[in-house]
Amino acid sequence: MMMDKETGAGGQTLKDPAMLLSMVNMKLRDEYSDLDELCGAMDIDRTELVKKLESAGYRYDEENRCFR
């Protein structure tokens, strides 16, 4: 899934780094064991997701399975 091509409410979430961070961390906490599983299940390009959140100042913490 290309994040720039998202439309509607979900697309707005992906354009707002704070909302994206919140959604991804919630999914990691509640539904997926790690970032690879989340990306695979949601058909999201992991590299693109990490770059988008890193550009907003967040880094993935593998040990705690969340972005900080």
**Given this model, what pLDDT does residue 12 score?**
65
The set of residues, in sequence order, having a beta carbon less than 8 Å from that of 63 and lying 6+ positions away, is none
Tens of pLDDT, residue by residue over 9-43, are: 455 667 899 999 999 999 999 999 999 999 999 99
Tens of pLDDT, residue by residue over 46-62, are: 999 999 999 999 999 99
3-state DSSP assignment of residue 48: helix
**Given this model, what pLDDT does residue 4 score?**
45
Distance CA 30, CA 49 (A): 19
Across-strand partners of 67? 60
Q: Burial, 14: exposed, middle or buried (Cβ in 10 Å; 0-12, 13-18, 19+)?
A: buried
Residue ranges covered by each domain of the chain:
17-67
Distance CA 31, CA 15 (A): 22
